[in-house]
Amino acid sequence: MSEQDRDTHQHHPDYWKIYVALVILLAISVVGTFSGILWITFIMAFGVALVKATLVAENFMHLKWEKVIAKWVLGIALILMVLFFAGVSPDIMKDRGLQWVNNADLAATARGIPDEEEPEKGAPASAPDSTKAAAATQTAAAAPAAAPFSPETTFKTVCAACHGPEGEGNGPGAAALNPKPANFTDPAFWTDKTDSVLEKAIRQGGASVGKSSAMPAWGSILTEAQAKQMVAYLHTLKGK
């Protein structure tokens, strides 16, 4: 009998013990995902993976040297995963990174998310449809008219991150962009620009007019009429 065969016979895994351990680990990992706390989910996910890998290395690999290096390999792998998460998460958790922009997130911010009205304390759980309809009519009649579209407000909310609050192309996101965002205060910018080209760039993105693809398309939140108002506002920035 070879030395490896003798080691295999001497170390026979307790499969029931391993099975119970895996079931417990499964339960822990499921509970961790429902906690809603990021650091707990993170620790449970990688902790469970680490324990499972240790069980495999100790009971099923049957190699003389694996117990010596397994902990080092697992430790280094865990460090690399933490470094990867630390390096990537700041960009993913924001609405823009060095080379990308989350248009949907910016659009939702520009639209705003209205709060749902909570029922008054002590109010009945439900009401007849006729009562609900009457209440809705009264609410609609009493509600103020929606605020008119403001190109200046939209510019400062949506565009200023790259173009700057005064349109000088010096917004906080400009440092990471190449080519740099347009400077609307520079007369040289306007020498070869038409309103129709600017409207297209606003609604369809910079790439649609042969410019930088870093300029996102805002057609999902701006109508043609609103894009025209935006261009008219850009004209007011000339020479500032």
- 2-41 per-position pLDDT tens digit: 555 555 455 567 778 888 888 888 888 777 777 777 777 7
Q: Which helix (H) or strand (E) holds 49?
A: helix 38-59
Q: How many CB atoms lie within 10 A of CB 97?
A: 15
Q: State yes or no: pLDDT of 143 exceeds 50.
A: no
Residues 134-157 have a mean pLDDT of: 67
Q: With 80 as the cut, is the pLDDT of residue 157 above it? A: yes
Number of Cβ within a 10 Å radius of residue 89: 11
* Secondary structure letter of residue 174 according to DSSP: G
Cα–Cα distance, 240 to 231 (Å, whole number): 16
Sign of CA pseudo-dihedral 223, 229, 235, 240: negative
**Distance between CA atoms of 113 and 33, rounded to whole angstroms?**
27
Gap between the Cα atoms of 152 and 226, Å rounded: 11
pLDDT confidence tier of residue 238, bands split at 50, 70 and 90: confident
- 99: tokens are 């080379």
For the segment 102-130, what is each residue's pLDDT rounded down to a tens digit?
766 666 666 665 555 445 555 455 545 55
The architecture that CATH gives domain 151-235 is Orthogonal Bundle (1.10)
- Residues 3-30 as b/e (b if ≥16 CB within 10 A, e otherwise) read eeeeeeeeeeeeeeebeeeeeebeeebe
What pLDDT band is residue 84 in, cutting at 50, 70 and 90? confident
Q: What is the 8-class DSSP label of residue 187? A: G
